[in-house]
Structure 1
Amino acid sequence: MADDQKGAAIVIGAGIAGLATAALLGAEGWEVTILEARDEVGGRAGSWEHEGFRFDTGPSWYLMPEVFDHFFRLLGTSAARELDLVRLDPAYRVYSEPSAERTLPPTDVRSGRDAATALFEEIEPGAGAKLDVYLDSAADAYELSVSRFLYDTYETTAGLRDPVLLRRAGQLAPLLTRSLASHVERRFTDPRLRQILGYPAVFLGGSPYGVPSLYHLMSHLDLDDGVLYPRGGFTEVIAAVKRLALANGATIQTGCEVVEITTTDAAATGVRLSDGRHIAAPLVVSTADLHHTETALLPPDLQTYPEKWWAKRTPSPGALLLLLGVDGELPQLAHHTLLFAEDWRSNFEDIFQEPSRIPAPASLYVCRPSATDPNVAPPGHENLFVLVPIPADPTIGRGGFDGDGDAAVETAADRVIQQISEWCGIPDLADRIVVRRTIAPGDFAADLHAWRGNALGLAHTLGQSAMFRPRNASRKVRGLSYAGGSALPGIGLPMCLISAELVLKRLRGDRTPGPLPEPARV
Structure 2
Amino acid sequence: MALVTPHAGRPRAVVIGAGIAGLATAALLAREGYDTVVVEQQPHVGGRAATWRHEGFSFDLGPSWYLMPEVFDHFFRLCGTSTSDELDLVRLDPAYRVFFEGDGAGGPSSVDVRTGAAHEAFEALEPGSSAALASYLDSSREAYDLALQHFLYATFARPTSLVRRDLLRRAPRLARLLGTSLERFVADRFADPRARQVLGYPAVFLGTSPERAPSLYHLMSHADLTEGVLYPRGGFGAVIDAVLRCATRVGVRVRTSSRVVAVRTAPLAGARGRGPRHEVTGVELAGGEVLPADLVVGAGDLHHLETALLPPRLATYPERWWRRRDPGPGAVLVHLGVRGRVPQLAHHTMLFTRDWRANFDAVLGRRRRVPDPASFYVCAPSRTDEGVAPADHENLFVLVPVPADATLGGGGLDGAGDPAVERVADTAIDMLASWAQIPDLASRVVVRRTVGPTDFARDLSSWRGGALGPAHTLRQSAFLRGRNVSSRVAGLLYAGGSTLPGIGLPMCLISAELVVKRLRGDTSGAPLPEPAAERPGVRA
Per the TM superposition, whether the score is higher than 0.5 is: yes
Q: How many Å separate the matches in 2 of 1:134 and 1:81?
A: 35
Structure 1 pair 375/101, CA: closer, same or farther in 2 (3 Å)?
same
Secondary structure at 2:525 match in 1? coil
Other-structure match for 2:4? none
Q: How does 1:436-455 map to 2 (within 5 A)?
A: 436-455=448-467
Q: 1:329 aligns with which of 318, 341, 344?
A: 341
- Aligned residue pairs, count: 518
Alignment pair present for 1:396 and 2:408: yes
Q: 1:459 aligns with which of 471, 491, 496?
A: 471
Tell me by how many angstroms 1:284 deviates: 0.3
Q: 2:158 aligns with which of 137, 156, 159?
A: 156
Other-structure match for 1:297? 309
Q: How many Å separate the matches in 2 of 1:99 and 1:412?
A: 23
Other-structure match for 1:34? 38
Gaps of 5+ in 2: 1-7, 268-277, 535-540
Tell me by how many angstroms 1:100 deviates: 2.1
Q: List per-residue Cα deviations over 1:494-521 (Å, max 9, x = no partner).
A: 0000000000001011111110111122
Other-structure match for 1:342? 354
Q: 2:28 aligns with which of 24, 27, 46?
A: 24
Q: How many Å separate the matches in 1 of 2:387 and 2:452?
A: 26
Tell me by how many angstroms 1:73 deviates: 0.5
Tell me by how many angstroms 1:117 deviates: 2.0
Other-structure match for 1:63? 67
Q: How does 1:121-270 map to 2 (within 5 A)?
A: 121-265=123-267, 266-270=278-282
Q: 1:96 aligns with which of 86, 97, 100?
A: 100
Q: How many Å separate the matches in 1 of 2:419 and 2:505?
A: 32
Other-structure match for 1:283? 295
Q: 2:529 aligns with which of 507, 517, 520?
A: 517
Other-structure match for 2:11? 7
Contact between 1:210 and 1:461, CA under 8 Å: does it hold in 2? yes
Other-structure match for 1:468? 480
Q: How many Å separate the matches in 2 of 1:456 and 1:404?
A: 24
Q: List per-residue Cα deviations over 1:190-249 (Å, max 9, x = no partner).
A: 121101100000000111110100000000011001000000000000000000100011
Secondary structure at 1:383 match in 2? strand
Alignment pair present for 1:490 and 2:502: yes
Q: How many Å separate the matches in 1 of 2:9 and 2:501?
A: 27
Matched letter for residue 154 of structure 1: F
Tell me by how many angstroms 1:118 deviates: 2.9
Structure 1 stretch 437-446 or stretch 150-159: which is displaced more?
150-159
Tell me by how many angstroms 1:76 deviates: 1.0
Matched letter for residue 510 of structure 1: D
Tell me by how many angstroms 1:6 deviates: 4.9
Matched letter for residue 200 of structure 1: P
Other-structure match for 2:271? none
Secondary structure at 1:106 match in 2? strand
Tell me by how many angstroms 1:326 deviates: 0.4
Contact between 1:98 and 1:423, CA under 8 Å: does it hold in 2? no
Q: How many Å separate the matches in 1 of 2:400 and 2:108?
A: 22
Tell me by how many angstroms 1:159 deviates: 2.5
Secondary structure at 1:26 match in 2? helix
Matched letter for residue 34 of structure 1: V
Tell me by how many angstroms 1:360 deviates: 1.2
Tell me by how many angstroms 1:5 deviates: 8.3
Q: How many Å separate the matches in 2 of 1:58 and 1:371?
A: 18
Contact between 2:382 and 2:395, CA under 8 Å: does it hold in 1? yes
Tell me by how many angstroms 1:316 deviates: 1.5
Other-structure match for 1:382? 394
Other-structure match for 1:499? 511
Contact between 1:268 and 1:283, CA under 8 Å: does it hold in 2? yes
Matched letter for residue 46 of structure 2: G
Q: How many Å separate the matches in 1 of 2:453 and 2:220?
A: 26
What is the Cα-based RMSD across aligned positions, in Å? 1.2
Alignment pair present for 1:54 and 2:66: no
Secondary structure at 1:44 match in 2? helix
Contact between 1:316 and 1:392, CA under 8 Å: does it hold in 2? yes
- Using the aligned pairs only, state the percent identity: 61
Tell me by how many angstroms 1:104 deviates: 4.3
Tell me by how many angstroms 1:103 deviates: 2.4
Tell me by how many angstroms 1:106 deviates: 1.7
Tell me by how many angstroms 1:412 deviates: 1.3
Q: How does 1:360-375 map to 2 (within 5 A)?
A: 360-375=372-387
Q: How many Å separate the matches in 2 of 1:344 and 1:469?
A: 27
Other-structure match for 2:114? 110
Q: List per-residue Cα deviations over 1:11-33 (Å, max 9, x = no partner).
A: 00000000000000011111001
Tell me by how many angstroms 1:123 deviates: 2.4
Tell me by how many angstroms 1:116 deviates: 1.2
Contact between 1:262 and 1:271, CA under 8 Å: does it hold in 2? yes
Q: What is the TM-score of this pair, normalised by structure 2?
A: 0.95
Q: How many Å separate the matches in 2 of 1:100 and 1:212?
A: 33
Q: How many Å separate the matches in 2 of 1:370 and 1:280?
A: 45
Q: How many Å separate the matches in 1 of 2:78 and 2:418?
A: 45
Secondary structure at 2:160 match in 1? coil
Secondary structure at 2:15 match in 1? strand
Q: How many Å separate the matches in 2 of 1:5 and 1:148?
A: 37
Q: How many Å separate the matches in 2 of 1:123 and 1:300?
A: 53
Tell me by how many angstroms 1:77 deviates: 0.8
Q: How many Å separate the matches in 1 of 2:326 and 2:11?
A: 37
Tell me by how many angstroms 1:174 deviates: 1.1
Other-structure match for 1:427? 439
Tell me by how many angstroms 1:411 deviates: 1.1
Q: How many Å separate the matches in 2 of 1:120 and 1:230?
A: 28
Q: How many Å separate the matches in 1 of 2:68 and 2:94?
A: 18
Secondary structure at 2:235 match in 1? coil
Secondary structure at 1:320 match in 2? strand
Other-structure match for 1:273? 285
Contact between 1:119 and 1:128, CA under 8 Å: does it hold in 2? no
Tell me by how many angstroms 1:122 deviates: 3.2
